[in-house]
Amino acid sequence: MTLSLVRPADVVLEIDLAAIRANFQNVSTLVGPQVRVAAVVKSDAYGLGLVNIARTLIDAGCDLLFVANLDEALLLRSSFSGIAIAVFRDEFDRFGTWYQSHDLIPVVNNCKELHAVSTAGEAQTYFLNVETGFSRFGLSVGDLQHKYLLRTLERYRPSIVLSHLACGECIWHAANVLQRDRFRAVYDLLKPTRGSLAASAGVWLGKSYHFDMVRVGSALYGISKAGAQTNPLQPVAKLRARILDMRNVPAGEAVGYGATFRTVRASRVAIVGIGYKHGLPWSCANKIFVRLAGYSAPLIGRISMEYMTIDITDVPAGRCSPGTFVELLTEDFTVNDLAAAAGVSPQEVLTRLGAGCTRKYLNLSSPSAAFTASRRRRR
């Protein structure tokens, strides 16, 4: 028998599901009714919880979800029997029976997988990934020409052809135009039911990048890397952590590993129960402020595995004590701001926080007819 204590969480990541629904609708409005909006929920929905986020998106009207691998696809399928689920990468040539028995859609990334799909029968739905300048996965132009001449792509036509922009967050980058033109050539050659080049950042590049479908991940979770002057998306995550202890520190004393901070006055310091174990970037030490009882308090000293320290000298003594929560992510200081301060990707910050913190969901919606097996799917 395993014994464990039940105690309140020291770190809570609050996830606003209403904001995710609003961001989905925002993108849908931006691209217009002729462009399908698919949701990317890979890596446990960027750390926010695969099933809960998928349920929210389906309820908002999403009818196609992209996941990273078969493990995520099978978890989703066990919860939602009436939604189209596509798998970015897990070899169809090895796991074809799993795809077929659970009604999953493979993204074909190479000729070996294309051959396996073509021998699986005409009923096998698949999406085709083509390489246009990202150099990660996808059939090259040479591969496509060879398969086209063999009539493989004519007999077993992909329902969606997709590619991925390398520099979508840089609006004026010349690589975007090059990839768009390459993709247009493939699109005109294969004439799929739909073409999809743009992910979240590419949505803001304009209609010539939208084709028939966009694949939105980061934007759903409030992350904007589109180079826009203002972020049109609603923040999704708030982060708070509990003060564990407080102490008085004389002037001139070091705080934390490496003595990277020394007090310049007699100070009151609070030890807060969040560290890089929970996903707080180590590199944001001595760079950010937290909110506490309406006051700002700077993070001082290095972030350790499970703790950080803040200077609460200017916070009235009666407004904080052990057990009080401080706010790290708010509507005014979002995951984008934290990532910028730390010099890292906001996607990295969000996925790490989601994996390391206790998650609390706000604005849960009740299950609707969107989750039933009778839901009509568009492939």
* Predicted local distance difference test score (pLDDT) of residue 87: 97
Mean pLDDT of 280-302: 96
For 29, the token pair is: 């409005």
Provide the pairing of β-strand 358-362 with 11-16: parallel
- What CATH topology corresponds to 237-333? Lyase, Ornithine Decarboxylase; Chain A, domain 1 (2.40.37)
pLDDT digits (tens, 9 = 90+) for 36-58: 999 999 999 999 999 999 999 99
For the cut 90, the answer to whether the pLDDT of residue 135 exceeds it is: no
Classified as helix, coil or strand, 334 is: coil
Active site residues: 42, 257
Burial label for 257, CB within 10 Å (0-12, 13-18, 19+), is: exposed
Under 8 Å between Cβ of 201 and 218 = yes
CA-based nearest residue to 60, from 105, 27, 15, 88: 27
368 pLDDT tier (thresholds 50, 70, 90): very low
Length of the chain: 379
CA-based nearest residue to 158, from 211, 105, 210: 105
Under 8 Å between Cβ of 43 and 271 = no
- Residue ranges per structural domain of the chain: 16-222, 237-333
* Predicted local distance difference test score (pLDDT) of residue 156: 85
The DSSP 8-state label assigned to residue 137 in this structure reads: S
Q: What is the DSSP string of 220-282?
A: GGT---S--SS--SPP-EEEEEEEEEEEEE-TT-B-SGGG--B-SS-EEEEEES--GGGT--G
Please indicate whether residue 154 or residue 198 has the higher confidence score (pLDDT): 198
Token pair 């564990």 in the structure block, residue: 244
Provide the pairing of β-strand 325-329 with 237-249: antiparallel
**What CATH architecture is 16-222?**
Alpha-Beta Barrel (3.20)
* Cα within 13 Å of Cα(240), Cβ side: 17
Per cent of the chain over pLDDT 90 is: 74
